[in-house]
């Protein structure tokens, strides 16, 4: 049609399960505002379902830790090269979602190639690697942050920073009754259920799941009616789980891809790998123990770089330790079981923890993050 504007093509990159979810939410809202947009890039199943034209699968590059990255360098290089080819082919903007080790390198190349960059979900510079502020200010044109305190971190840097609220506030809602989801999973809603969330990356599952299952084995000695459920993120391969769960044939485990928040609504407590999942569990008001194990050398380096006392994101947002953390050498079945057992046995502790988790929800804003992020993207595309 004569005079019609050229459809805008966007390179979008998310490298892990939480970023895949946020990318899909942002894409869906942006396409409501402008159905002519097209998205090409890296994402998982949710982004592909939302209309992404994939150039590489996020499942192949979902890694964490310095040594773990080394073993995945060939896949990471192929993914990066695919993004550079997309830039050379021509896109109107780059949208990067979290995943800073990869995405900040890509932001620098995009700047060199003359393509503007919008970054959604700021790297956690308040936790470690604060020197990245200068790098972000140099290479990113607009930054969408999900915590209000992040705005001040970038003040005076000449960078457009917009607080859009946290997307999980809208997402963290059950869609069916506890009875209905229990029936689907073959569980009894009248019996206590423990959620086990070992992480979404293969390396996380390998390092976190054995300790969590060891804790579950100890807990069932105390509470033989305890039910065990593992919600599976979209990027998790069933084989990654079964390779470990097969070593615990005595445990009645239910691994499921049923809707995540419906599954959480069944849980009296949860064992949760540190990361975005701790906020999701908090928003569902489920008391938890935060766990995490890294390669020992990676952990040593991380301790030298980190600038915060609490490791779990739920505790960082709360401003203090409202749920226990069992990190690295403290991530043992015995310690985890001891902490979880209190949530199962002590109703007063359970209730006070739920109240503290409700205060975390209040700190995360009123919702509407994806629509705000999408509107910001549309504005970004028309800016000169």
Task: Give the lowest-confidence range in 13-27, 57-71, 172-186, 326-340.
Answer: 57-71
Write the pLDDT tens digit of every residue in 233-291. 876 888 889 999 999 999 999 999 999 999 999 999 999 999 889 999 999 999 999 99
Same fold for the pair 9-167+367-382 and 178-363: yes
Give the pLDDT score at 298.
55
The predicted pLDDT at position 291 comes to 98
Sheet containing 160-163: give its strands across: 53-57, 38-43, 9-14, 93-97, 117-120, 142-145, 160-163
Classify domain 178-363 at the CATH topology level: Rossmann fold (3.40.50)
Q: pTM for this one?
A: 0.80
**pLDDT digit string, tens, across residues 164-196:** 999 999 989 999 999 999 999 999 999 999 999
CATH dotted code for 9-167+367-382: 3.40.50.2000
β-bridge mates for residue 290, sequence order: 272, 325
> For residues 320 and 69, which has the higher predicted lDDT (pLDDT)?
320
Per-residue pLDDT at 86 exceeds 60: yes
Residue ranges of domains in the chain? 9-167+367-382, 178-363
């Amino acid at each position: 049609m004569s005079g019609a504007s050229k459809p805008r093509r966007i390179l979008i990159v998310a490298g892990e399960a939480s970023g895949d979810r946020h990318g899909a939410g942002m894409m869906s809202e942006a396409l409501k505002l402008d159905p002519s947009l097209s998205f090409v890039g890296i994402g998982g199943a949710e982004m592909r379902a939302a209309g992404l034209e994939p150039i590489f699968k996020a499942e192949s590059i979902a890694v964490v830790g310095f040594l773990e990255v080394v073993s995945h360098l060939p896949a990471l290089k192929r993914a990066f090269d695919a993004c550079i080819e997309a830039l050379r082919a021509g896109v109107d903007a780059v949208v990067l979602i979290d995943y800073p080790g990869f995405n900040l390198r890509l932001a620098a190349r995009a700047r060199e190639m003359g393509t503007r960059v919008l970054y959604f979900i700021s790297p956690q510079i308040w936790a470690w690697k604060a020197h990245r502020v200068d790098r972000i200010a140099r290479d990113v044109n607009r930054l969408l942050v999900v915590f209000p305190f992040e705005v001040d971190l970038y003040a005076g840097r000449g960078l457009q920073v917009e607080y859009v609220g946290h997307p999980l506030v809208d997402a963290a809602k059950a869609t069916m009754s506890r009875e209905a989801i229990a029936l689907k999973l073959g569980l009894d809603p009248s019996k206590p259920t423990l959620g086990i969330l070992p992480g979404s990356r293969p390396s996380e599952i390998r390092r976190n799941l054995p300790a969590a299952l060891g804790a579950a084995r100890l807990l069932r000695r105390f509470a033989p009616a305890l039910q065990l459920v593992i919600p599976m993120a979209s990027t998790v391969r069933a084989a990654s789980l079964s390779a470990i769960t097969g070593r615990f044939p005595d445990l009645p485990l239910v691994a499921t891809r049923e809707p995540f928040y419906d599954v959480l609504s069944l849980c009296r407590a949860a064992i949760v790998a540190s990361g975005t999942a701790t906020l999701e569990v908090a928003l569902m008001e489920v008391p938890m123990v935060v766990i995490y194990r890294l390669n020992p050398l990676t952990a040593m380096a991380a301790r030298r770089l980190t600038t915060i006392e609490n490791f779990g994101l739920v505790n960082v947002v709360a401003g203090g330790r409202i749920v226990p953390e069992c990190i690295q050498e403290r991530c043992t079945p015995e310690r985890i079981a001891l902490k979880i057992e209190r949530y199962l046995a002590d109703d007063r502790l359970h209730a006070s923890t739920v109240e503290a988790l409700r205060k975390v929800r209040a700190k995360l804003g009123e919702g509407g993050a994806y629509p705000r992020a999408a509107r910001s993207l549309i504005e970004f595309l028309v800016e000169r």
